[in-house]
Amino acid sequence: MEPGKKAENRIGYQSIPQTDSLGRNIFYVIALTIVAGFVEVTGYMDCEGLYASIMTGNTVQLGMNFTHAEWVKFGLVGYAIALFFVACSIASLIRRHLANPLMELVIMSGVLSLACLVRLDPSLNLVLELPLLSLALAMQGETIARFGGVSLQTLVVTNNIVKFSDAFTGRFISRRFLEKTGQKVPTLPEAVLPGISWLTYSVAAAIAALANSLTPFTLLVPAIIILVVAADLRKLPTSSTH
């Protein structure tokens, strides 16, 4: 065996712990969606209507501003999109070089805590706060995108609405037809988790908007929640890859 191979095989890299418990997965989805909702609303309010990770919204704005020749806004939106691309690349590098991927959530909490302090100076909203928020959400998206057997992104809800409507229809409306024709019936988690994510995002956005009118330290909420999620995931059995 080659020396490089031997060294590689001595290192065990853990994967994100998984559980089939519907209750626990509902907790994770709700918690992570609250995090995303709080971060997005805070960034939107602080950074001139730019989204930290909702690239559909930013891309629509990019096209509209180009058509209307609103070049300052066009540049800002392009800046936000470029930031998220770079943030995702950085988050991917971090994930690939950590033996324990849960540490990325701990780092993410630190990034959010730093952003909480940075936003106290409005002059840093665009130059530092937005990059930090984009990085934090990119780290969340890179770290956890599967809950039990359900693939789900907690950063945005468009695809979750599609998944929810499809699984809901298949399980509760077309179930008899699917069983009769031998087609797969969506599982309960496949129907429940995307719907919960969608609902939670709406509620979290409303609460975050209110919280931002009451305190400048709103980002401490998602920073704490992400640590709670990491601590709970740590209790689950892990698997290692080589």
Q: Domain 19-149+201-234 maps to which CATH number in 1.20.1270, 1.20.1250, 1.20.81, 3.30.1360?
A: 1.20.1250
CA distance 234 to 8: 24
Tokens of 75: 């540049």
Average pLDDT, integer, range 1-22: 60
pLDDT band at 63 (very low <50, low <70, confident <90, very high): very high
Per DSSP, the three-state class of 151 is strand
Listed by start position, the domains of the chain span 19-149+201-234
Q: Which residues pair with 51 in a beta bridge?
A: none
The pTM (predicted TM-score) of the whole model is 0.89
Tokens of 212: 């931002």
pLDDT, mean over the chain: 91
Q: Is the pLDDT of residue 4 over 90?
A: no
Is the Cβ–Cβ distance between 99 and 13 less than 8 Å? yes
- 178-215 burial, b at 16+ Cβ within 10 Å, e below that, comes to beeeeeebbbebbbbbbbbbbebbeebbebbbebbeee
CA-closest candidate to residue 196, choices 186, 206, 204: 204
Q: What pLDDT is stored for residue 94 in this prediction? A: 93
Is the Cβ–Cβ distance between 195 and 171 less than 8 Å? no
pLDDT band at 216 (very low <50, low <70, confident <90, very high): very high
CA distances from 239 to 13, 147, 149, 181, 242 (A): 8, 15, 16, 37, 10
pLDDT band at 222 (very low <50, low <70, confident <90, very high): very high
Element holding 5 (H helix, E strand): helix 3-9
Q: What pLDDT is stored for residue 149 in this prediction? A: 85
CB count in 10 Å sphere of residue 168? 17
pLDDT in tens, 133-173: 999 999 999 999 889 889 999 998 999 999 999 999 999 99
CA distance 134 to 136: 5
Q: How far is CA 178 from the centre of its chain?
A: 32
